[in-house]
Amino acid sequence: AGRMLRYLHSAAAFRDQFRGKSADAVRLKKDGGTVDAITAATISSRAVANGVREALTWYRKNFPQGPGGEPRG
C-alpha cells in the first residue's frame, strides 16, 4: 500500500506541474523549462511534456478566446 501511495503522490505532483503554464514553460528543466522529470523516466517525462505543449499550442491557436468559445474555422 505504501508503494502505491508514493506512486500516486508522485504522479499527482508531476501532473500538477503543468497547471497554469505557458506552452514555452512546458519543457523539462533539463530542456530549459519548468517541469521536473519523474526519476528514472526522463524520456517518458519528456514525451508527456512535449504532448502537453503541443496540445496547449493547438488549443490556444484554435480557441483564442478560451474555454466555451467557438473554434476557428
pLDDT band for 32, please (50, 70, 90 cuts): very high
Mean pLDDT for 13-28 is 91
Mean pLDDT for 33-62 is 91
Q: What are phi and psi of 18, to 5 degrees?
A: -85, -15
Query: Which own/partner contact pairs does 50-53 have at CB distance under 8 Å and 24+ positions apart?
Result: 52/18, 52/26, 53/23, 53/26, 53/27
The pTM is what? 0.68
pLDDT of residue 29: 93
Asked if 29 and 35 touch (Cβ cutoff 8 Å), the reply is yes
